[in-house]
């Protein structure tokens, strides 16, 4: 499952992406949804970014397709 980063935030990420990416535009980060965190990477897609939602996150936070969620991203390099 993936969540799309909103356009405004994607533009902000693009501004610093060259400092954060380890190649191909992929950006390592920690994703927090509710009380659950997981390490992953943002993937560039169609001028924006996708956030992979790992199974551990979706199960513990009861995430299903079609619902709105708030995601906190912490970038690492």
Q: pLDDT tens, position by position, for the chain (77 residues)? A: 999 999 999 999 999 999 999 889 999 999 999 999 999 999 999 999 999 999 989 999 999 888 889 999 999 76
**Domain enclosing residue 40, as ranges:** 2-75
The residues pairing with 4 across neighbouring beta strands, listed in sequence order, are: 50
Q: Is the pTM of this model over 0.85?
A: yes
Domain count, the chain: 1
Task: State how far the Cα of 23 lies from the Cα of 68, in Å rounded to an integer.
Answer: 30
Q: What is the CATH number of the domain that holds 51?
A: 2.40.30
């Amino acid at each position: 499952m993936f969540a799309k980063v909103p356009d405004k935030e994607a533009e902000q990420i693009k501004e610093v992406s060259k400092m954060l990416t380890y190649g191909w535009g992929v950006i390592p980060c920690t994703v927090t949804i509710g009380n659950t965190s997981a390490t992953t990477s943002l993937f560039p897609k169609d001028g924006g970014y996708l956030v992979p939602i790992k199974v551990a996150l979706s199960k513990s936070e009861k995430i299903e397709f079609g619902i709105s969620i708030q995601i906190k991203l912490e970038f690492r390099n």
